[in-house]
Amino acid sequence: MTPTTAAPLEGSERARPAVLPAHRPAAKEIATSLVIGRGWSRRARPAALLSHDAHEARVRCSGALEPGTRVRVRLSVPSSFGPAYQKLTCELPAVATKVRARSKGCEAALRWLRPLPELVADAEARRRRRIGLLLLAVLLLTLGQRWSALRYFWYDPVFEIYSVIIGLYFFSRFYFAAVHRPPEDKGYEPTVSVIISVRNEEDGIAEAISSCFSAEYPDEKREVIVVDDGSTDGTPREIARMLALFPGLKSYRLPPQGKRFAMAEGIREATGEIVVMVDSDTQLDRMALRQIVRGFEDPGLGAASGFTSAANADKNMLTRMQDLRYLVSYELMKAPESVFGCVSCCPGCLSAYRRAYLLPILDTWLNQTFLGRRATFGDDRSLTNHILRDYRVIYNPLALSTTLVPENWMHYLRQQCRWKKSWVREFPIAGRILLRRHPVAALSFFASAVCSLVSPIMVIRYVWWGKSDLLQYYLLGMVFFGLLTGLFALWRRPIRYWYLSWVWILTQTVFMGPQTYYAMLTLRRNHWGTR
């Protein structure tokens, strides 16, 4: 198949340095506050950060300011400081060195009391210590609640055995997630092919393509491939517009056959050593490509998952809960699996594969059948299983991206049903692989299945039998585990709505859990739930 254009990329934006330059104007003014004084005399003035470097900053603020005044600059840390500090809000100490009066307030030059990277790192360390103490307190409360429930053991041993299994499962996840570390950066810089499979995504495809070219990576080592799976809206027009802006973009158009065929076409046409899969509504962080290839200098590494958050998280409560769910899914589920090199699913939002390992299994994956029908959904989980048979699969929390999540419950329920179907289909396959490769990882993997399948039954059981005391203990335990999960998520990354975790866990257990059984009963329905 002939691409629309295959010209090499030229004249794109130069790679920006990862460390702070000598002095850099902000891409746009960053809203801040200047906190002056201590104790009762402490007051905050609205301000804007105009430029900054490792030692100085220039701000505009309301009111007068004298040279030599010590201030604390309260701000949300810009993304230029690196993925470890995303969404961190802190106060950084500085002193005013020069002040110029303006008609409304003044402009001031500030000198940081210590190098800026050190100040930000210390602020993050203090935040994590505070959250860690709170996390420990809730952990002790949870253990106390579990201990008090032991008096019901002979009254309902099934409940207690289940509680012990789930408790051990969750606490093991907390432990392995806490010790997980991203792969070391050894300066490895392979050729990369970014593949975007798209169908009827005219509203978001342009931003997805632009983010791939804006990501910092050598132009001569990067190619971006878009495969259109028979779009019937304005997607082809948007792709043509992007071809004019980015001459190095490769575009292919197929008759509508499904996402797997589009992905497979992109893999065949790719020339890069590493294939990066990106969804059509994904936007990559500036450093995403450099981060996602970490660890691939080891030939034993077959695939890596990045981290994805919800771009539209602030839309409503449902989107905020999904953003929290994404965070928990990555940091509390994938991170422990990554400790053993056995991540069970590399999501399509942002994942990387070694192309040489994909080519031999491509036809098998493409023609997968289940219950006598061609498998269409769950392409990412299935592809991960094929790689996991012989190679390590890891999670890199420093490779960042955002995606759009459903904003209404009907769309969300259809998406979740499709995801649960793929989990039911791929779970036995992944279980056999993990038993062979790492029994400890397999034990945790099967415990997660017990949690997913049995939790709704426990709730229905107590409601049906009228055991309100046990139901109260069970739901109280779920609330404690929800708070633990939210605090752990907050400990890993700053997130404002961590407190919604207990609502999310109760919702998943009581309402979403039974959907797993519906998915099992409708496995033969292969249609896409969100298209």
In this prediction, residue 25 carries a pLDDT of 52
Residue 101 lies in a domain: yes
Residue 448 lies in a domain: no
Residue 82 lies in a domain: yes
Q: Locate tokens 């023609």: which residue?
A: 367
Residue 410 lies in a domain: no
Residue 207 lies in a domain: no
In this prediction, residue 7 carries a pLDDT of 30
Residue 514 lies in a domain: no
* Residue 286 and residue 16 in contact, taking contact as beta carbons nearer than 8 Å: yes
| Structure token digits, residue 308 | 């994805």
Rounded Cα distance, 91 and 381, in Å: 42
Q: Helices marked H in 340-408 — which ranges?
A: 355-358, 362-366, 379-388
* Residue 451 and residue 513 in contact, taking contact as beta carbons nearer than 8 Å: no
Residue 148 lies in a domain: no
The reported pTM is 0.86
Average pLDDT per 10 consecutive residues for the chain, totaling 531 residues: 35 33 56 87 90 92 91 84 76 94 91 93 93 90 76 72 82 92 95 97 95 96 97 96 94 94 97 97 95 97 97 94 95 96 96 98 92 83 96 97 95 90 92 91 88 80 70 77 90 91 83 83 65 44
337 contact partners, CB below 8 Å, separation of at least 6: 343, 344, 395, 441, 444, 445
Using one digit for the tens of pLDDT, what is the confidence trace for 482-529? 889 999 999 999 998 999 998 888 888 777 778 888 888 888 776 544
Stretch (H or E) spanning 252: strand 250-254
What is the number of structural domains in the chain? 1
Rounded Cα distance, 127 and 85, in Å: 11
Using one digit for the tens of pLDDT, what is the confidence trace for 183-203? 999 999 999 999 999 999 999
Residue 191 lies in a domain: no
352 contact partners, CB below 8 Å, separation of at least 6: 274, 275, 276, 277, 292, 293, 296, 303, 304, 306, 346, 399
DSSP three-state, residue 398: strand
Q: What is the domain range of residue 86? A: 24-114
CATH number for position 109: 2.40.10.220
From 268, 182, 214, 285, select the one nearest 12 (Cα to Cα). Answer: 214
